[in-house]
Amino acid sequence: MSRLQFTVVALALAAVATPTLRAQDPQPTEGVRFGVGGGFLIPTGDYGKVDKTGWHVLGLIQLPISGSPIHLRFDGIYGSTTHQSAFGSGKTTVAGGTADLLFHLGSRGSAVRPYLLGGVGLFHVSSESKFGYGLGGGFLFGVGTTHAFLEARYMSVQTSGSSLTFVPITAGLMFGE
């Protein structure tokens, strides 16, 4: 099973197995939120044939659209992967940002709240700045006035002659109103 298939299956199982529990207070997902996170950066496609799984960090700001389950989210990512030994030493650095629409699923009062997100952005990869897009989803876990999140996205950056594709799997915390 490929890394991408494993990631998709793991997220699907988590979605099915996650109970919808009631929290005492609504989850803090309706105000302006700031977040930080990090995790694995899994190269896919041709990129996955050359580089090994690496790491990434993520920073974000999330803005609600009043009275709607939809939020605007702006995030920045920085990550690195190393070449597989057959391709010599070296690394690939990915840095960029996206503007996303995030759609919350389920009730605000749920202890675990899934979401979908997708957006477009600009990325800098191996001395090139190129257009990219991403689609994915995740789960919010209420923790007092903050919440933790776990998400995965499929990202594609349109580099010269092809596209660089990867899956960042991110765990993090969000703070704010």
Q: 93-137 pLDDT, tens per residue?
A: 999 999 999 999 987 777 888 999 999 999 998 788 999 999 999
Query: Residue ranges per domain, the chain?
Result: 3-176
66 vs 9, residue with greater confidence:
66
Q: What is the CATH number of domain 3-176?
A: 2.40.160.20
Report the percent of the chain where pLDDT is more than 70: 81
Residue 84 or residue 100, greater confidence: 100
DSSP state of 69: S
Whether residue 22 is predicted with pLDDT greater than 90 in this model: the reply is no
Mean pLDDT score of the chain:
84
Predicted model pTM: 0.81
Task: State the DSSP code for 145.
Answer: T
* pLDDT of res. 20: 39
**What's the number of CA atoms in the CB half-sphere (13 Å) around residue 103?**
7
3-state secondary structure 107-118: CCCECEEEEEEE
Look up residue 30 and give its two tokens.
Answer: 């309706």
Amino acid at 82: T
CB 107 within 8 A of CB 19: no
* pLDDT score of 74: 98
- pLDDT score, position 9: 54
Tens of pLDDT, residues 40-61: 999 999 999 999 999 999 999 9
- The pairing of strands 33-44 and 54-64 is antiparallel
Lowest mean pLDDT: which of 15-24, 76-85, 148-157? Answer: 15-24
For residue 63, give the H/E element and its range. Answer: strand 54-64
